[in-house]
Copies of this chain bind each other. A is one copy, B any other.
Amino acid sequence: MKQKLSIVKIGGNLIEDAQGFKHVLDLFSKMDGNKILVHGGGRKATELANQLGIESKMVNGRRITNAETLDIALMIYGGLVSKKIVAQLQALGTDAIGMSGADADAIRAHKRPKKNVDFGYVGDVDVVNTYGILKLLQAGFTPIFCALTHDGKGQMLNTNADTIAAELAIAMSDQFETTLYYCFEKKGVLQDINDENSVIQHIDSKGYDELLAYGIIADGMLPKMHNCFYALRNEVSKVCVGNTNMLEANNSDYTTLTL
Residues of A within 8 A of B (CB): 48, 51-52, 71, 74-80, 82-84, 86-88, 90-91, 95-100, 102-105, 132, 135-136, 139-141, 148, 150, 152-156
Contact = CB atoms under 8 A, between A and B. Distances in A.
B51 A91 contact: no
A244 B77 CA distance: 30
B91 A80 contact: no
25 contacts: A51-B51, A51-B52, A71-B80, A74-B84, A75-B76, A76-B79, A77-B79, A78-B78, A78-B79, A78-B82, A83-B102, A84-B156, A86-B100, A86-B102, A86-B103, A87-B150, A87-B154, A87-B156, A90-B150, A90-B152, A96-B103, A97-B97, A97-B103, A97-B104, A135-B140
The copy count of this chain in the complex is 2
Given A84-B74, A103-B97, A141-B104, A152 B91 contact: yes
B99 A104 contact: no
Contacts of A77: 79
Q: Which of A75, A87, A139 has the most CB of B within 10 A?
A: A87
A78 B97 CA distance: 12
A87 to B, nearest CB: 4
Contacts of A88: 154
